[in-house]
Amino acid sequence: MNLEAIVIGASAGGVHALLQVLPALPADFPVAILVVVHVPPRRDNALVALLAERCRLPVKEAEDKEPMVPATIYMGPPDYHLLVENDGTLALSSDETINHSRPAIDVLFESAADAFGARLAGIIMSGANHDGAIGLRAVYDAGGQAIVQAPATAEVACMPEAALAACPAARAINLEDMPSALKEMLDR
């Protein structure tokens, strides 16, 4: 089945990982990419501008009730959970923190797994807690592709290790191999 979306979760050390992967994607990469990075509340998301100046794909902060468009990178805004509705529309929520985070990676991954099933890939990158582990398992259980940054290449290995423990079938990929792995996913 064709890949329709990729969800990425990162925390401590994740900005470096994202800067290695997302700018390497071509301008015609045909899939929407939704990214949640743990950022402090009530702060501007400087990561949007940082990625926008380096990526060939457009990068924007996700907005509530926004239709998801292919070939676009959507960043979860600070202090809001990012979700995907069943019709592919993005939604923002100010519900309680999960895993001490808002936005929480599990929230995005679980809602995207419900919306896209086998047409989804989930990626957990560097981070210092276990957020995303349950969500990655949900992606896998829905028939999607589960990928983890190889812990040895993560600045902080806690999140990738927790994701592999929750989803042992996930593929661990070295950071430098991640861009080519994303391109190869399109052919699966």
Q: What is the pLDDT along the chain (188 residues), one digit of tens a residue?
A: 589 999 999 999 999 999 999 999 999 999 999 999 987 776 667 889 999 999 999 999 999 999 999 999 999 999 999 999 999 999 999 998 887 888 999 999 999 999 999 999 999 999 999 999 999 999 999 999 999 999 999 999 999 999 999 999 999 999 999 999 999 888 76
Q: pTM for the whole thing?
A: 0.96
pLDDT at 152: 97
pLDDT at 2: 87
pLDDT at 40: 73
Is 11 one of the annotated active-site residues of the chain?
Answer: yes
Residue pair 176/149 in contact (Cβ under 8 Å)? The answer is no
Find where tokens 């070939």 sit.
71
Instruction: Give me the catalytic one of 81, 101, 111, 131.
Output: 131
**Strand stretches in the chain, DSSP E:** 5-10, 32-37, 59-61, 73-75, 81-84, 90-93, 120-124, 145-149, 171-173
Q: What is the secondary structure of 43-79 as a DSSP string?
A: S--HHHHHHHTT-SS-EEE--TTPBP-SS-EEEPPTT
Q: Which is it for strands 90-93 and 81-84: parallel, antiparallel or unpaired?
A: antiparallel
Is 131 one of the annotated active-site residues of the chain?
Answer: yes
CATH of domain 5-185: 3.40.50.180
Instruction: Give me the catalytic one of 38, 81, 126, 130.
Output: 38
pLDDT at 46: 85
